[in-house]
């Protein structure tokens, strides 16, 4: 047994008393940003997918489906303005990940989010695997040619569909966020075995319903404690002896964990910066 019990206090003790250098892997999803004002995808009333009737989609996920986009790019560009990063402030959960990094405990953060709030909270680039891409770059879906950022910003603002600047191609251009039917970025495959090296895994704010990301928690060793901070139980979390379930909102969950570690004041300070 690596944990004395399945409690927050046991996790805190494990983090604080670790004899080996602690390597924590964090896995996040849309639920860590809902308190920043960004809807998640699958929550029944408030989630993005429950609120897309105005786009007349055949099914909600179509808005992020590459084959649907090829024929109907407009619904995505109708929504893109709301998804575009920049309007939101990181939550205390984002700051908690930054705190783990500051303490030298963060091995890697795997995020499914495209809001860039982890980075904004201070987690450095090299610690983040943006498994579902980001708005940082944009390119033609046919010839893969890069597209200028200013033109993408204009297209998103005006809700128009941008096309490849190479007129002989004229393919559709989209931000390099990963759509259903597309490969995840190379960085995901390069790093996906890292959970096997983790001493602790913290999973927050995700329904774990999209593969291959949803498999990451399986990759860590059986003896590695896995902490789930989420409003509902997801995946197979809870099935291993050292799984700790904190079924609550992420912000109060990380506050509780920080408090048990004696870091609460530092965390609040970091968040207020």
182 vs 179: CA distance, rounded Å: 5
Say if residues 30 and 41 touch (Cβ distance below 8 Å): yes
What DSSP character marks residue 85? T
33 vs 23: CA distance, rounded Å: 24
- With CB under 6 A as the rule, give the number of residues binding ligand OAD: 25
Catalytic residue among 94, 98, 101, 132: 132
* Overall residue count recorded for the chain in this entry: 273
236 vs 239: CA distance, rounded Å: 6
Q: Pick from 40, 65, 130, 199: which binds ligand OAD (CB under 6 A)?
A: 40
- Tokens, residue 192: 């996906």
- Tokens, residue 177: 């966020």
Q: Is 174 in the site for ligand OAD (CB under 6 A)?
A: no
Q: Pick from 73, 75, 205, 235: which binds ligand OAD (CB under 6 A)?
A: 205
Stretch of 38-46, 76-84, 96-104, 122-130 contacting ligand OAD, by CB under 6 A: 38-46
Say if residues 31 and 205 touch (Cβ distance below 8 Å): yes
Whether residue 116 is annotated as binding a ligand: the answer is no
Whether residue 250 is annotated as binding a ligand: the answer is no
N- to C-terminal Cα separation, the chain: 39
Residues between 59 and 88 with contacts to ligand OAD, criterion CB under 6 A? 64
Q: Between residues 23 and 62, which has the closer beta carbon with respect to ligand OAD? A: 62
Q: Is 115 in the site for ligand OAD (CB under 6 A)?
A: no
What DSSP character marks residue 134? E
* Residue 94 among the catalytic residues: no
Cα dihedral 88, 93, 99, 100 sign: negative
Q: Pick from 2, 9, 13, 35: which binds ligand OAD (CB under 6 A)?
A: 35
Q: Is 43 in the site for ligand OAD (CB under 6 A)?
A: yes
Task: Give the shortest CB-18-to-ligand OAD separation in angstroms.
Answer: 26
List the binding residues: 140, 143, 164, 169
User: Which residues participate in catalysis according to the annotation?
Assistant: 132
Q: Which residues contact ligand OAD by CB under 6 A?
A: 29-31, 34-35, 40-43, 47, 64, 112, 132, 178, 205-207, 209-210, 230-232, 234, 249-250
């Amino acid at each position: 047994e690596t944990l004395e019990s399945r409690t927050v206090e046991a996790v805190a003790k494990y983090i604080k008393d670790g004899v080996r250098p602690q390597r924590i892997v964090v896995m996040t999803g849309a639920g860590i940003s809902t308190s920043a004002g960004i809807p998640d995808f699958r929550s029944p009333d408030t989630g993005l997918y429950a609120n897309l009737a105005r786009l007349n989609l055949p099914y909600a996920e179509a808005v992020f489906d590459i084959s649907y986009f090829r024929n109907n790019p407009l619904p995505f560009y109708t929504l893109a303005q709301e998804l575009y990063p920049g309007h939101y402030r990181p939550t205390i959960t984002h700051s908690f990940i930054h705190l783990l990094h500051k303490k030298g405990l963060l091995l890697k953060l795997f995020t499914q989010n495209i809001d860039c709030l982890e980075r904004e909270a201070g987690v450095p680039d090299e610690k983040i695997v943006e498994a579902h891409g980001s708005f940082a770059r944009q390119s033609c879906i046919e010839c893969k040619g890069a597209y200028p950022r200013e033109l993408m910003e204009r297209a998103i603002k005006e809700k128009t569909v941008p096309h490849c600047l190479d007129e002989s191609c004229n393919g559709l251009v989209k931000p390099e966020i990963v759509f259903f039917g597309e490969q995840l970025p190379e960085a995901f495959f390069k790093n996906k075995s890292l959970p096997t090296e983790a001493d602790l895994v913290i999973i927050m704010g995700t329904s774990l319903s999209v593969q291959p990301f949803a498999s990451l928690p399986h990759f860590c060793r059986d003896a590695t404690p896995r902490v789930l901070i989420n409003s509902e139980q997801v995946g197979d979390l809870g099935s291993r002896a050292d799984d700790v379930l904190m079924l609550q909102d992420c912000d109060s969950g990380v506050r509780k964990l920080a408090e048990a570690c004696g870091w609460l004041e530092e965390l609040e300070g970091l968040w207020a910066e």
